[in-house]
Structure 1
Amino acid sequence: MKRRAFLAVLAATLAGAGVWKLLGRSRPSHAGPGGFRLETVASGLDHPWSFAFLPDGRMLVTEREGRLRVVSADGALSSPVEGLPEVSAVGQGGLLDVVLHPQFSSNRLVYMSFSEPRDGGNATSVMRGTLSEDTRRLEGVEVIFRQQPAFDGGHHFGSRLVFDRAGALFVTTGDRNRLRDLVQQTDNHIGKIIRITDDGGIPEDNPKPEGWLPEIWSVGHRNIQGATLHPDTGEYWTVEHGSRGGDELNRPQGGRNYGWPVISYGKEYSGGQIGEGTAKDGMEQPVHYWDPSIAPSGMVFYTGDKYPDWQSDLFVGALVQKHVARLTLEGGKVVNEERLFDGEARFRDVRQGPDGYLYLLTDEGAPDGRVLRVVSAD
């Protein structure tokens, strides 16, 4: 009798929030967004990957095939901006992230990451150029970073770009799916976070562990496709794809090792174990992880005034599970997770607009790629 009672209590616990407490993780809520809906701002895009707001409210939007578009306030798409170099639009590769220089209003510099065709294959690179006053052309384009080595493949390019408060540029790279053996080595750019100056140089305050290339910030990453700064602390936060489970939210510190592929909370796609388990001395633990995988993409901390209940929450797009994850943090830890717009689309990027609204980018081919705005349902 006692055994049956114990099993009943255990089953109820596992069916409820208790299982997440036992795992040391928050339980995701599948509730709807409660009073909000998605409004289409622009459509007709072909696999858009990222977007950035110009000072006048228009947007620059990258399309993976290699086109940069200007989206006007009424949602009209420009012709492709001229002057971009050739991209290797294969698999997950192509024209990827886009950010403006912190002093864009005076220098008009635009930065983009892309998979660059190279001898031996392709690899993640970062270009910069000056956007013409009529926004029709990118001028003086130069490549300021090239991931080494190149590899003939179409996966795991990483590619999120974030300027920190010191004006240095963080660049994420991936493990290229088949170059895991290079991730823990520090003489290459495979599975690393890179930190460079705005012209591609080495910041003086970069970490300097022995044997590391001077541009490397941290090592042990699989494929980071989301990154942002915390609005209060200025700390750098990222999300990266795991394998079968094990997607991670991290707060990467300079000179640290984040474990891939030695430790992971995911499994091989075949079901086998990855590396040595989930923890090892000298390797960092994630702030939060997802199992099963959500395939995290762009991310942003919300600081606007349009959704008072969402102040300081972290929003992460999900590709495979087709939602936007709203994460509530306390003391640097995730204490609650809610799924917004569940099943609506593959959300590739999430940004806060200068008007205080959240904007989302869907990962669909033409003509279905869209820019969406989160607005009140009233």
Structure 2
Amino acid sequence: MTDENKPLRRETLVAQALGWMDPAHRSLIPGIFPGTTYEREGDGSYPTGRVYTRDHNPTYDQPEQLLMALEGGRDALLFSSGMSAALAVVQALRPGDHMVAPKVMYWSFRNWLLTVAQEWGLEITFVPNGDLAALEAAVIPGKTKLLWLETPANPTWVVDDIAGWARVAKAAGAHLAVDNTVATPLLTNPLKLGADIVMHSATKYLNGHSDVLAGALITAAEDDFWARVKVNRNAGGAILGPFEAWLLLRGLRTLHLRVQRASENAMAVARHFDGKKGIRLVLYPGLDSHAGHEIAARQMSGGFGGMLSLCIEGGAEAAMSVAARLKVIKRATSLGGVESLVEHRASIEGAGTPCPEDLLRLSIGIENVSDLIADIEQALEGRNI
């Protein structure tokens, strides 16, 4: 006997996109609403509640509601990119406020914090990843307003204790925002661990097909801080186009399959090359030897994600040579797509990067894992497949 009141599991919510249907035509696939404006009544009111496409486009409704359901949030916002979503959170602070962020994180956002954010008048302290004591020491009571966390941290995949960061934030009266792009809501739910806001570069796993640029924020509470974030999206115009929102929803419907397969493949690759000749170190939270494995096992469920890094013996030149010989795995920026990608991050990030020079970042896709392993093997050996 089935329990009709039992909540649907995440895989079902994702596959059916909450089970919504077009009320006018009973279509299982939603429409796209390219219109930019809506008609008023004669008295000046808006009977549908929609005023202008910048924050009222109907194409946003379903993906935002789905993300709320997956993360367990009270409200969600789509953005034109992950960067614009992250900036909307930081710009909700006021000049003179203090925030804390990890030293290893998404490079473009870190650069923005180091330049524009500090020029704008924010005080920012960067702390070592995985060091809760350093975080506690960095917080300034009454002044620290935001803690920003990315875990696992790109591209070294250090794992931080989200619940620990949440306790520090709460004690300081600060908000905790977590970049959950790599873990996805299927593996980690930061709001349930005490975070206040979750950010996704929806370009990556949420869309999953390397054809949409998008970002998203989900909040645990619709408080004054969230109200300022919403103003930033509306006033700043960092909105997603309706066609891109529709494509994002289409990608989300296979999220559980893609994340599961990528996680399984990444684990197989990590185990295969851990301790192999030519590999100095494998960085993957799923390995028992990983420094953050215990925390990752506690706050991640269903896998450890599709991202890993290989540190190649011989330094930067050897790492670049291995990347150049890969045939199946493509040399390209980004992550979270169905295809496997590789990057030598230190050369991409340039001066000031905290990334080791011998590190190759791998976004493992959904291909046959034997083909991926064989490709890396031949690249290490310098022979053809």
TM-score tier by shorter-chain length is: under 0.3
Q: Which has the larger helix fraction?
A: 2
Between structures 1 and 2, the one with greater strand share: 1
TM-score with structure 1 setting the length: 0.25
The TM-score normalised by the length of structure 2 is 0.25
